[in-house]
Amino acid sequence: MSLLSGLRGGSDVGFDSYGTFVPEHNPDPGPFLSETAVLTGTDHAAFHRLTMDLFDERGVYDMTFGYNLARLNLDHRHPDAGFRYGRETDDGSVLRAEFTPTTEFCPQSDTLTVGAFRAWNGLSDRHEYDLVRVRVSPGHHQSTSINDKLQQLETRYRKTGELRMDDKDESSDGSIPF
């Protein structure tokens, strides 16, 4: 087996199955999930299987590893990276999802979290939640600006049902070289 086959998602060696939840292969829940009922076991696995389908449909892929972003939770090489989920305790129709990237400088964190938000909320007829709120973990060096953007996107979605921000809000922030 080629080393690159695992990076491109071509082999299941070193990956958990979608039907399992292995706590030591998932990031610890962060502060965004602190006041939620964090999903574990079969609840986490079921939502994560659905996430794989939604991310496939909407093209939420990690270009560094060449696979569906949901697969990151299953990758043994990155046990502290991926998504964790929690139901809001005062409103069970709202799920929170916190993304922990593989590094604190992951250049795709903005794009990946916005893509995840749009996939979950744009295909909300496929799950039990009225809203999936998304944030990046505070360990990312741009977490404040990314989370501000996600909060603005969430507010607009709640008010209008629109998944896009105004064109001026989606323009490059200058941190991307092209």
Q: What is the pLDDT of residues 109-146, one digit of tens each?
A: 999 999 999 999 999 999 999 999 999 999 999 999 99
Q: What is the pLDDT of residue 131?
A: 98
In this predicted structure, the answer to whether residue 164 has a pLDDT above a threshold of 90 is: no
Q: Which of 152, 136, 146, 150 is nearest to 32 (CA)?
A: 136
Note the pLDDT of residue 161: 94
Q: What is the pLDDT of residue 165?
A: 67
Distance separating alpha carbons of residues 80 and 102, to the nearest angstrom = 7
CA–CA separation, 144 vs 140, rounded Å?
Answer: 9
pLDDT at 166: 63
Q: 43-63 burial string, b = 16+ CB within 10 Å, else e? A: ebbebbebbbebbeeeebbbe
pLDDT the model gives residue 177: 34
54-70 pLDDT, tens digit per residue, is 999 999 999 999 999 99
Per DSSP, the residues of the chain read: --HHHHHTT---TTB--TT---GGGSPPP-GGGTTEEE--HHHHHHHHHHHHHHHHHHT-EETTTTEEGGGGGGBTT-TT-EEEEEEETTEEEEEEEEEE-SSTT-TTHHHHHHHHHHHHHHTGGGSS-SEEEEEE-TTSTTHHHHHHHHHHHHHHHHHH---SPPHHHHS--S-S--
The answer on pLDDT for 158 being more than 80 is yes
